[in-house]
A and B are shown apart, each in its own frame.
Chain A
Amino acid sequence: MADFLINSVGLPPWLAWTAVAGVAAFLILNVIAGGALVFIWAERKIAARIQDRLGPTRTGGRFGWLQSLADGIKLLAKEDLMPEGADGLLFRIAPYVSFCASFCAFIALPFAFDFVGQRLNVGVFFVVAVLGLEVFGVILAGYASASKWSLFGAMREAAQVVSYEVPLGMCVVVPVMLAGTMDLVTIAEKQAGWFTNWYLFHDPFTFVVFWVYVTCAVASVNRAPFDLAEAESELVAGFHTEYSGLRWSFFFMAEYGSMFLVSALAAVLFLGGWNGPVPVATLLGLSEGTSDTAHYFVRLIGCGNLLLKATLGVLVMMWIRWTLPRLRIDQVMTTCLKYCTPIAAVMFAGAMLWQLFLPGGLLPGLSRPAGEVREGWLPGPGGAAVRPTQRTDEASVAEVRP
């Protein structure tokens, strides 16, 4: 797109690059903010239906679909309060830290083959690293509020998130190992075709590890049944007890943004990314490179696929939240350290052995396209498969030789 702006429109390069970066940032911001609007409404409706109520019905005509907008206007009009004993700078900056961490993680998330803010070759690593920073805003908020409820909530959140990073990282490593790369775009690309190619159905171990990932993801974005940080029945509202108005809504947007992010990450890592369950585009003959229109049409379908999968993931999280009771803090830790971590470790070893001894799957002709080269083989410059280990060996030898 930047090349197009430079060559066809004739913009100077710095303006073109800034414009492209601005467009990408604007789109991601809208995914978070617009998503939060929709998800808050959906959460109210789902919670109401699960509790045998109706939920919002009047705002905006049928179904109360303008309820989130009304909430937003109410939040804008609210007074921005700060406790007297609070640390002003930290109190003000904490919501932005949380929101920025959630926002930055979206940069490396691919929505379709080309629809990615910045394609990183360590995309998975980047997303997990940045997502872990969101807790910093929560800790700052809890500390700066000068309130016991807030501090308790923040400490719980810190302990929980730091613990759950371990099994989460182990779950994420399994698709990385199968794909042989940490590039999210390549990982999703390798699951193209029918839904049997998804890493969820790759082998029994990945199937189990997906559910461990779901558990850890729900815990790491701090949703019920793991929402110890804002346990309403014990801690008023946890780390954001003292917040009001727009600052409070930043925490909320960060939470919904993270929910969407971990769902989208699950979709990319395990559920085929932007590839639908049935390869409609390939069946219709709209493969890559036929024409520009077809090209963008396929991309748009893929983007819709990914958004649909991520939205489904968020809806499942809501379903879990309003169905299951909250765990105690010791039960949360037990779930992490005694169940999730060992299961993830065993499944990691199992997936590794499966790759070694049954690389084609049980039914090779059905589940894998013939002649596909996977796990650690990358297409070389001339289209030939080059083994990366050999290449790095040669490269390192060449490098150390003066």
Chain B
Amino acid sequence: MTGCLVLAAINFHAILFYVFAILACGFAIGVVVADNVVRMALYLVLSLGATAGLFFLAGAEFIGAMQLMIYVGGTLVLLVFGVMLTAQAPFVSIKTSAGDRVLAGVVAASLLALLLQAAFSVEAWRRPGLGEVGQPASTPIGTALVGVRVDEPPAGAPQGVRSGYLLPFEIVSVHLLVVLVGAAYLARAKRRRTPRAIEVAASVNPTAEMRRQARGSASALAAGGSR
């Protein structure tokens, strides 16, 4: 009876795992195959949502909620501010060239090979069914990333100083922020300053410079109107 119970429980869990895994992988392929940006975003959200489902299934509720908050919500903001504000026309379809496809395929295949190799090199995963793993929850490099070195202090450092990788980590974050700002600048709609805008600005804050510009543009407008 107990054996039957355990078997049923395992199957139940495994079925849900496969459902979420297939959903995540299928929608990930959908992201690659789709040619409309918003559809891609939808598939990406669904794929990331299925990944969050995997986390919830594993009992990691905090990571699952984080996944929903950061990745799914982040895709949302990406969709709105990255895609819609830069789109030139509705329902633009993106055709990838064959060269790009080959290049992307090579990169993806090499990354997959690396990840698979790393995944199958984990001792506990080779034999399924061994649930209890004596792995530490946080590895030394993980703690070092948040500034706590539990291994040897760096060579040549004064006694008692154990600087982690927190500073490089933060520098990378700031670098990412700079990249984001730069991307927003590049993608920004290039608006010409219209005479109307100058007039409004002049009426709000009538400095001499503005007034001169407004007068010039007004005469230009009048000239344009008379032409």
Question: Which A residues fall within an 8 A CB radius of B?
Answer: 12-14, 17, 85, 87, 89-90, 93, 120-122, 125-126, 128-130, 132-133, 135-136, 139-140, 143-144, 146, 155, 158-159, 162, 396, 399-400, 402
Contact = CB atoms under 8 A, between A and B. Distances in A.
Nearest to B150: A400
Contacts of B11: 14
Contact of B42 (A93, A130, A399): A93
B132 to A, nearest CB: 15
Contacts of A93: 42
Query: Chain A contact residues: over half helix, strand or loop, or mixed?
Result: helix
A169 to B, nearest CB: 9
A120 to B, nearest CB: 5
A399 B61 contact: no
Contact of A126 (B8, B61, B90, B140): B61
A136 B74 CA distance: 11
8 contacts: A13-B5, A14-B11, A14-B12, A132-B69, A139-B79, A158-B76, A400-B136, A400-B140
A400 B140 CA distance: 7
A87 B38 contact: yes
Interface string B2-26: 0011001101100000000000000
A131 to B, nearest CB: 10
Contacts of A155: 80, 84
Contact of A13 (B12, B39, B68): B12
Give the 9 A-B residue pairs with the shortest CB-CB distance, closest first.
A129-B69, A129-B68, A158-B80, A126-B65, A400-B150, A125-B65, A14-B12, A399-B136, A13-B8
A167 to B, nearest CB: 16
B184 to A, nearest CB: 15
Interface residues of B, number: 33
Nearest to B11: A14
Contacts of A126: 61, 64-65, 68
A136 B41 CA distance: 10
A402 B140 CA distance: 10
B210 to A, nearest CB: 23
A136 B38 contact: no
B90 A122 contact: no
B91 A139 contact: no
B137 interface: yes
Contacts of B73: 129, 132-133
B138 A396 contact: yes
A14 B150 CA distance: 45
Contacts of B61: 120-122, 126
Interface of B: 4-5, 8-9, 11-12, 36, 38-39, 42, 45, 61-62, 64-66, 68-69, 72-73, 76-77, 79-80, 84, 90-91, 136-138, 140, 143, 150
B137 to A, nearest CB: 5
Query: Considering residues A17, A129, A159, A402, which has the most beta carbons from chain B within 10 angstroms of its beta carbon?
Result: A129
A87 B39 contact: yes
Given A122-B62, A139-B76, 14 more contacts: A12-B4, A85-B91, A89-B39, A90-B39, A93-B42, A126-B64, A128-B69, A130-B68, A132-B73, A139-B80, A140-B38, A140-B42, A143-B90, A159-B80
Given A87-B36, A90-B38, A135 B140 contact: no
A132 B76 CA distance: 10
Contacts of B66: 125, 129
A402 B68 contact: no
A136 B84 CA distance: 13
A239 to B, nearest CB: 13
Contacts of B137: 399
Contacts of B150: 400
Contacts of B5: 13
Nearest to B45: A136
B216 to A, nearest CB: 30
A129 B79 CA distance: 17
A114 to B, nearest CB: 19
A399 B142 CA distance: 12
B63 to A, nearest CB: 9
Contact of A133 (B9, B76, B79, B140): B76
Given A122-B62, A155-B84, A400-B140, A136 B76 contact: yes
Query: Considering residues B5, B9, B69, which has the most beta carbons from chain A within 10 angstroms of its beta carbon?
Result: B69
Nearest to B87: A143
Nearest to B64: A126
Contacts of A139: 76, 79-80
A43 B2 CA distance: 54
Contact of B84 (A90, A125, A133, A143): A143
A317 to B, nearest CB: 24
B68 A133 contact: yes
A400 B80 contact: no
Query: Considering residues A122, A128, A146, A159, which has the most beta carbons from chain B within 10 angstroms of its beta carbon?
Result: A122
Nearest to A146: B90
B226 to A, nearest CB: 34
Given A87-B91, A399-B137, A14 B65 contact: no
Contacts of A125: 62, 65-66, 69
Query: Considering residues B45, B76, B140, which has the most beta carbons from chain A within 10 angstroms of its beta carbon?
Result: B76
A346 B143 CA distance: 32
B136 to A, nearest CB: 5
Nearest to B12: A14
A19 B68 CA distance: 27
